Amino acid sequence: MKRLLLVFGIVCFGALWAQAQQTIRGNVMEAGSDEPLIGASILVVGSDQGTITDFDGSFELSNIPNNATEVKVSYIGFESKIVKISGQMDLGVIELELSAIGLKQVEIVASVAVDRKTPVAVSTIGRTFIAENASNQEYPELLKSTPGVYATKTGGGYGDSRINVRGFNSTNVAVTINGVPVNDMENGRVYWSNWAGLTDVTRSMQVQRGLGASKVAVPSVGGTVNILTNTIDMEKGGSVFYGIGNDNYRKVSFDYSSGLTDNNWAFTVLASKIEGDGWAEGLNFEGYNYFFNVSKVINKKHTLSLTGFGAPQRHGQRQNQQTIQSFRNAPQGLKYNADYGYLNGQLVNVEDNFYHKPQFSLNHYWTINSTSDLSTAIYASTGTGGGGGTATDGSVGFNEFRTGDQYSPYDLDAIVEKNLTSQDGHAFAYLRASRNDHKWYGMLSTYNKKLSNDFNLLAGLDLRSYKGIHFSEVTDLLGADYALDDNDINNPNRRLKVGDKRDYANDGIVLWEGGYLQGEYSSGPLSAFLSLSASNTSYKRIDYYNYLDSDPLQETDFQNFFGYQIKGGANYNVNKNHNFFANLGYFEKAPDFDAVFQNFRNDINADAENQKILSFELGYGFRSSAFKANINVYRTTWNDRTFTKSFNAQDDPNTVIDESLAELFANILGVNAIHQGVELDFVYEPTTRFTLRGMLSIGDWTWDENVDGVSIIDERQNVVGTIPTLFIKGLKVGDAAQTTGSLIADYRVIDDLKLGITYNYYANLYAEYDPIDRISDENGIVQSWKIPDVGVFDAKAVFDFKIGTLDASLYANVNNLFNEEYITDAQDGDGDGDGIGDAAGARVFYGLGRTWTTGLKIRF
Amino acid sequence: MKNIYLMLSGLVLVLGLFSCDSLKDTYAELDENYQDPSGIQELSITMGDDEYQLLEDVDGAESIANYKSFSSEDEAKTYIPYVLDYLYPQLGKGASASVDYHIYSAIVSNNEYSFELTDADYQALGQEEGSLDSQWDVFDAVEYKLANPEHLDLVSLEYVYDDGTTVDTVIGKIARYNDDWLLADQPTSEEYAMMGQSFPNFSSRTTAKRNLAILLDQKYPFAYEGDVKAVVFTYTYVPSGGDRVFEDYLAIFEFDGSQWMVIPDLKVANLKFGFDGSQWVPDNTIRFTLSSADFSLIGGNQGGDAGESAGNYGNFDRRPTGSAYWSDEMILAGINFLLNTNYPSSAVGQKYLITYAIYDGGAGTEDIYVIKDSSGEYIYYEE
């Protein structure tokens, strides 16, 4: 660790070289990203003297006429900028804003943070970074080199990656695509496989850590990930891409933009297909992507833009974590996957996932007058799909059917044979899928009014209507005549065929009405904002299986929960090099759907408590032409984290109660966590050919206090029991590395060849556990098993060349270059029976071994 | 430019230190306590000639090798581990062996009694004539004289027998066999002669049993399968440095449907052994893994969400927060229910090592080791 700090130190000193220069020079970059604009023109206003930027966006201009006061910086597809040069030799970084239709408005709707203006801790990655590093990595992994982020591939299935920000999992990380929130309306989770492959049309991805700049109420406890897709490129053209990789990875994609036509129409389309066998066993996948945007500039005041995208996919999963020893014992080693089988010689992904969630949005941008405008997005998304798995009648277990030893695949042929012996034709074992379909409609509207030169007022509405449709269905009877199911109270003892529903069927309906008001002040070096937002969430549950159709309890009333947030912050630019910022916020987050309805029934937990989050950040930024750095500290206290415990009366021999009140639950309040830490990131370009990016993030995330005797309440509000003390004080939060660091060194060997190496370091990663399981202090308060620290290298190469008149790029990536064996995910477990989690008891996923991809992109 | 190369290679070198073999220590820790499952085998073997031969050079076990049998269970517990050691030196801690072996238990009489029926006895038995006239009368008489007979007690009873034509005083030999009385055949001098004996006795027990079986075949060819007969024969030998001895010997025969077979002196018995890492020790642990049917049974007994979950998924949900949570106490209770249902007649002290599937966010297994205590309850067994 000390060595790592030393390296950062060296780099920081290096920044001081680059100051005093005697010629006019600068760097032209795309605003909001670290991407240089190559070939941008710099023209001295009032003369014909000028130059263009180099491949790193830098330029130098000498022999300027004495009377020259400003230069014009311009680049196709971007808005030109006039920069004053009086007495100034080093112009530093000149950022050009994209002139793509609607981009600015989308950025406002999505609350994209602006450097040295928006007072939040933020990291942004842009198109070039994504193109060079995408390889076989998914959205979360592209962010792994930004502070506070911990991303893993979990089991390694396509789209199964996950992200934690500042130690909070995806339930507490808001994700928006073009400003439209995509966290599941019921449980808050983000399913990245829904967007797998959308990286191809991503123009930028921004992580705002902490409460962030988001105006609408979103669950940004850990942070917000804003994904902006391409809208309309002004430039006409397109590209084709073909890539291959390890384990039969193949990707082909095509995109095309019309540019803005003479009659003010424009469209962009993209289509791609990705397939492969997956690195581990039984993870074969096939995914498609489509994206389109059609825009019409109606007149100077109105623009309409329709965007649609989706990524239908089906992939095999590795659902079950295994002990370290199992992976060591398995003949296939780290590629061992217990969750697939063979039937008639064909591989069957017993645990699989299939989903298609197209999203369409119609955006209207209305410039009302010179001081006000209104941006409105109406969107709709429908999700169809689910996850496959096993089902039995209770007399057999799937694990009894393996083709060989315990590490071998399921022997589905043996199950067919077994099913054929069934006297009454029912299936002993069969395959099912748990389906989670949904329909989601919403509207986001933002009104922006410039009250004075310094003061801006924003007001907005966020309306959502969501219906989740949950059921399980039979997908393969494995040779049986039918599957027997007796879970539908309205239709007992059914003989099910493939496609029939089973086990459960219920709908979750969520209505959301939110609004916000934000004031922004910006004058000279100071900018500040104050934001207030509130939302009402209404939940309704309809249970078709546990209640008779004639039973009014089948459908609940709407349960309403009110949440709000208030936050504010300020940024002060001391000079062109230094800026400071601070922000402070408090918000109350409505409980999730699953906390409101207990026991997988319509048992209403009307007293479910709001979670309360208080957060502040202090930050400092340094900018010079060669060195950019940010450092910030944060502290988030998260109080009354939702925990409910529900159980049967007879489960607890100590509770003597009326048997008719068998369904009980407790809202466990006072489970509080403190997440605090320091985050540093920098970009250093000592020469035009070399770029070093680095990040160090040191978190201290712990549970706060022990929680004493929580009362168990029955539906008549009687206290019927007590949950013992939770011993959690000082326990480290698990499931995300508390210390992360990264260095990315890019070196342009020759003008057309760029080589890069990425190093990521993960430390203080504790196995996941449930704090409300900690009901004993027999061993004192002991941490869960600590996963060994590790550093992992990736390497990349990009070669730009010409095919005739067409630009082409050849990409090559090797991830986990040294084939490091390391653990990314662990569930705490006790192997030696002393009540303390250890390496023998933990069940884990390993990081993938060495993987590679290479691809060719040709632009036209 | 050179500086950059220098810096880069320095970086890679420094960072490389963080990245080699991150799991080395973890693996070492695991290896320390690791029990390779391939060393944990469950053997089932029978002591045959070859196995007994292995004890030839073991001190104190020469006669075992010689007679291919043990004289007691304790002897078997002492010496079978030598055989297992020799045969399976490769196995590891946790291996177990179920061994069938032979134990020599000659059928000799237990207690011998001698009674003579008096007039008062006949009166008490309701035999006014002062004689007995059926086998059942004889058994009644023995029972009258000997209140609490034990297995293989041998009674000499002198009584007057009236077979309807003649009235004789006889000395009957009556043997207690399990819960029944058997009126033992006593070969006559003619029968001894027919069996090739010069004198009315045998000097070899092996010959006696062989020949007596043939005699019974001739005398009782119409027996039914499962019929049992006792024979008392005279065995004679001369102990070293002493006078010739004559002893009554009891042999029990059973009709197998076609011929009479002697119930052998060598009996097959079974012992279980476990390997504790350094030696084989007697161990009666029965190991098994809960089947889906077992989970259904335990779940049905438990009821509630937990019971339903166990039945549906074939595992115990071990997430304390969940409504289907199985606590240690619930599992112990479930195991008690299962064992009492499936093995109601297990002996006190019987141990079970049971593996079961669990779910605690991922799939896994746990073990429970129990022993039946004197109250008939299964409690945790600590090794």
**Is B31 in the A-facing interface, judged by CB distances under 8 Å?**
no
Instruction: Report the chain A residue with the minimal C-alpha distance to residue B12.
Output: A759
In chain A, positions 447-466, which contact chain B (CB-CB < 8 Å)? none
Rounded to the nearest angstrom, the gap between the alpha carbon of residue A111 and the centroid of all alpha carbons in its chain is: 16
Q: Do A397 and B33 count as a contact with CB atoms less than 8 A apart? A: no
pLDDT band at A542 (very low <50, low <70, confident <90, very high): very high
Q: List the structure tokens of A288.
A: 């498609």
To which H or E segment does residue A4 belong?
Answer: helix A2-14
Residues B75 and B146 reside in one and the same domain: no
Please answer whether residues A266 and A99 qualify as being in contact, where contact means their C-beta atoms are separated by less than 8 angstroms: no
What Cα–Cα distance (Å) separates residue A720 from each residue in A168, A655, A662, B302? 33, 7, 11, 21
Q: Do A397 and B292 count as a contact with CB atoms less than 8 A apart? A: yes
CATH number of A2-99: 2.60.40.1120
Distance from CA of A34 to the nearest CA of B (A): 21
Choose the mutation target among B18, B315, B356, B382 for the interface with A, i.e. most A CBs under 10 Å: B18
Q: What is residue A829's predicted lDDT score, i.e. its pLDDT?
A: 87
DSSP states along B206-275: HHHHHHHHHHHHHH-TTPPTT-EEEEEEEEEE--TTS--EEEEEEEEEEE-SSSEEEPPSEEEEEEEEEE
As a whole number, mean pLDDT of residues A358-386 equals: 93
Residues B254 and B200 reside in one and the same domain: yes
Percentage of chain B modeled with pLDDT above 90: 31
pLDDT band at B225 (very low <50, low <70, confident <90, very high): very high
How many contacts does A have with B, using Cβ atoms within 8 A?
141
Please answer whether residues A58 and A18 qualify as being in contact, where contact means their C-beta atoms are separated by less than 8 angstroms: no
CA angle A641, A646, A647 (to 5 degrees): 150
Nearest residue to A466 via CA among A188, A171, A216, A227 = A188
pLDDT over 70 at A229, yes or no: yes
pLDDT band at B103 (very low <50, low <70, confident <90, very high): confident
In tens, the pLDDT along B141-167 reads 998 888 888 888 889 999 988 888 888
Q: What is residue A481's predicted lDDT score, i.e. its pLDDT?
A: 95
Q: Dihedral sign, CA of B63, B67, B71, B77?
A: positive
Instruction: Give the integer Cα–Cα distance in Å for B329 and B332.
Output: 5
pLDDT band at B14 (very low <50, low <70, confident <90, very high): low
Query: To the nearest whole number, what is the mean pLDDT of chain A?
Result: 87
Distance from CA of A280 to the nearest CA of B (A): 18
DSSP states along B43-60: EEEE--HHHHHTTTTSTT
Instruction: Report the chain B residue with the minimal C-alpha distance to residue A598.
Output: B323
Least confident of A11-15, A683-687, B22-26: A11-15
Q: What is residue A209's predicted lDDT score, i.e. its pLDDT?
A: 93
Distance from CA of B288 to the nearest CA of A (A): 14
Residues B375 and B294 reside in one and the same domain: yes
Which residue in the set A329, A651, A829 is minimally distant from B306, CB to CB?
A651
As a whole number, mean pLDDT of residues A779-795 equals: 92
**Is B17 in the A-facing interface, judged by CB distances under 8 Å?**
yes
Instruction: Give the integer Cα–Cα distance in Å for A427 and A481.
Output: 7
pLDDT band at B180 (very low <50, low <70, confident <90, very high): confident
In tens, the pLDDT along A258-293 reads 888 888 888 889 999 999 999 999 999 999 999 999
Residue numbers in A near B311 (CB within 8 A): 394
pLDDT band at A135 (very low <50, low <70, confident <90, very high): confident
Rounded to the nearest angstrom, the gap between the alpha carbon of residue A195 and the centroid of all alpha carbons in its chain is: 10
Give me the number of domains chain B comprises.
Answer: 4
Please answer whether residues B138 and B159 qualify as being in contact, where contact means their C-beta atoms are separated by less than 8 angstroms: yes
Choose the mutation target among B30, B308, B309, B329 for the interface with A, i.e. most A CBs under 10 Å: B30
As a whole number, mean pLDDT of residues A401-428 equals: 94
Instruction: Give the integer Cα–Cα distance in Å for A26 and A42.
Output: 10
Instruction: Give the integer Cα–Cα distance in Å for A777 and A773.
Output: 11
Please answer whether residues A533 and A564 qualify as being in contact, where contact means their C-beta atoms are separated by less than 8 angstroms: yes
Q: What is residue A431's predicted lDDT score, i.e. its pLDDT?
A: 96
Tell me which of A337 and A606 has the higher pLDDT.
Answer: A337
Residue numbers in B near A662 (CB within 8 A): 304
pLDDT band at A220 (very low <50, low <70, confident <90, very high): confident
Please answer whether residues B207 and B222 qualify as being in contact, where contact means their C-beta atoms are separated by less than 8 angstroms: no
pLDDT over 60 at A12, yes or no: no
Distance from CA of B98 to the nearest CA of A (A): 24
Least confident of A608-612, A778-782, B4-8: B4-8
Which residue in the set A320, A392, A747 is minimally distant from B363, CB to CB?
A320
As a whole number, mean pLDDT of residues A722-728 equals: 80
Q: What is residue A683's predicted lDDT score, i.e. its pLDDT?
A: 92
List the beta bridge partners of residue B184.
none
Q: What is residue A800's predicted lDDT score, i.e. its pLDDT?
A: 93
Q: Do A647 and B8 count as a contact with CB atoms less than 8 A apart? A: no
Q: What is residue B204's predicted lDDT score, i.e. its pLDDT?
A: 86
pLDDT band at A475 (very low <50, low <70, confident <90, very high): very high
Q: What is residue A6's predicted lDDT score, i.e. its pLDDT?
A: 47
For A178, list phi and psi in degrees, rounded to 5.
50, 35
Instruction: Give the integer Cα–Cα distance in Å for B215 and B194.
Output: 9
Instruction: Give the integer Cα–Cα distance in Å for A720 and A265.
Output: 67
Instruction: Give the integer Cα–Cα distance in Å for A835 and A833.
Output: 5
Residue A334 DSSP class: G
Which residue in the set B37, B323, B362 is minimally distant from A843, CB to CB?
B362
Instruction: Give the integer Cα–Cα distance in Å for A669 and B282.
Output: 54
Tell me which of A98 and B120 has the higher pLDDT.
Answer: B120
Q: What is residue B6's predicted lDDT score, i.e. its pLDDT?
A: 66
Please answer whether residues A537 and A561 qualify as being in contact, where contact means their C-beta atoms are separated by less than 8 angstroms: yes
In tens, the pLDDT along B292-325 reads 889 989 998 888 888 888 888 888 988 776 778 8
What Cα–Cα distance (Å) separates residue A583 from each residue in A535, A633, A695, A696? 22, 11, 21, 21
Which residue in the set A653, A792, A823 is minimally distant from B19, CB to CB?
A792
pLDDT band at B20 (very low <50, low <70, confident <90, very high): low
Q: What is residue A18's predicted lDDT score, i.e. its pLDDT?
A: 37
pLDDT over 70 at A615, yes or no: yes
In chain B, positions 265-294, which contact chain A (CB-CB < 8 Å)? 291-293
Rounded to the nearest angstrom, the gap between the alpha carbon of residue A400 and the centroid of all alpha carbons in its chain is: 38
Please answer whether residues A848 and A830 qualify as being in contact, where contact means their C-beta atoms are separated by less than 8 angstroms: no
Choose the mutation target among B9, B20, B23, B356 for the interface with A, i.e. most A CBs under 10 Å: B23
Q: Do B14 and A7 count as a contact with CB atoms less than 8 A apart? A: yes
Residue numbers in B near A773 (CB within 8 A): 319-321
Q: Do B30 and A818 count as a contact with CB atoms less than 8 A apart? A: no
pLDDT over 80 at A473, yes or no: yes
For A5, list phi and psi in degrees, rounded to 5.
-60, -40
pLDDT band at A254 (very low <50, low <70, confident <90, very high): very high
Which residue in the set A6, A321, A831 is minimally distant from B362, CB to CB?
A321
**Is A661 in the B-facing interface, judged by CB distances under 8 Å?**
no
Residue B30 in any domain: the answer is no
Q: Do A392 and B11 count as a contact with CB atoms less than 8 A apart? A: no
Distance from CA of B375 to the nearest CA of A (A): 22
Distance from CA of B139 to the nearest CA of A (A): 54
Instruction: Report the chain B residue with the minimal C-alpha distance to residue A756.
Output: B8
Least confident of A379-383, A433-437, B36-40, B236-240: B36-40
Cα dihedral angle (B180, B186, B192, B195), rounded to 10 degrees? -20
Percentage of chain A modeled with pLDDT above 90: 58
Q: What is residue A264's predicted lDDT score, i.e. its pLDDT?
A: 85
Instruction: Give the integer Cα–Cα distance in Å for A126 and A228.
Output: 10
Which residue in the set B23, B312, B360 is minimally distant from A394, CB to CB?
B312
**Is A486 in the B-facing interface, judged by CB distances under 8 Å?**
no
DSSP states along B44-110: EEE--HHHHHTTTTSTT-HHHHHHTSBSSHHHHHHHHHHHHHHH-TT--TT-EEEEEEEEE-----S
Q: What is residue B73's predicted lDDT score, i.e. its pLDDT?
A: 85
As a whole number, mean pLDDT of residues A390-397 equals: 86
In chain A, positions 14-53, which contact chain B (CB-CB < 8 Å)? none
In tens, the pLDDT along A823-833 reads 999 999 888 77
Domain of residue B274, residue span:
39-104+267-278
In tens, the pLDDT along A742-753 reads 999 999 998 899
Residues B369 and B290 reside in one and the same domain: yes
Instruction: Give the integer Cα–Cα distance in Å for B305 and B328.
Output: 16
Residue A98 DSSP class: B
Residue B31 in any domain: the answer is no
What Cα–Cα distance (Å) separates residue B280 from each residue in A153, B75, B191, B367? 47, 14, 51, 22
A782 by Cβ neighbours in 10 Å (0-12 / 13-18 / 19+) ranks as middle
Instruction: Give the integer Cα–Cα distance in Å for A76 and A81.
Output: 12
pLDDT band at A652 (very low <50, low <70, confident <90, very high): very low
pLDDT over 90 at A856, yes or no: yes
As a whole number, mean pLDDT of residues A684-705 equals: 91
Residue B271 in any domain: the answer is yes
Distance from CA of B81 to the nearest CA of A (A): 28
What Cα–Cα distance (Å) separates residue A104 from each residue in A100, A113, A382, A474, A522? 8, 12, 27, 48, 18
As a whole number, mean pLDDT of residues B42-63 equals: 91
Distance from CA of A774 to the nearest CA of B (A): 9
As a whole number, mean pLDDT of residues B179-201 equals: 91
Residue B4 in any domain: the answer is no
Q: List the structure tokens of A560.
A: 């309403």
Q: What is residue A409's predicted lDDT score, i.e. its pLDDT?
A: 96
Q: Do A648 and B306 count as a contact with CB atoms less than 8 A apart? A: yes
Residue B64 in any domain: the answer is yes
Q: Which CATH architecture has domain A108-640+672-704+735-768+785-859?
A: Beta Barrel (2.40)
DSSP states along A668-691: -----EEEEEEEEEEEE-SSSSEE
Gyration radius of chain A's alpha carbons? 28
Domains of chain A, residue spans = 2-99, 108-640+672-704+735-768+785-859
Look up tokens 């979750």; give the residue. A508
pLDDT over 50 at A658, yes or no: no
In chain B, positions 321-350, which contact chain A (CB-CB < 8 Å)? 321, 323, 325, 327, 329-330
Residue numbers in B near A687 (CB within 8 A): 1, 4
To which H or E segment does residue A597 belong?
Answer: strand A597-598
Residue numbers in A near B296 (CB within 8 A): 394-395
Distance from CA of A770 to the nearest CA of B (A): 8
In chain B, positions 32-91, which contact chain A (CB-CB < 8 Å)? 33-34, 37
Residues B290 and B375 reside in one and the same domain: yes
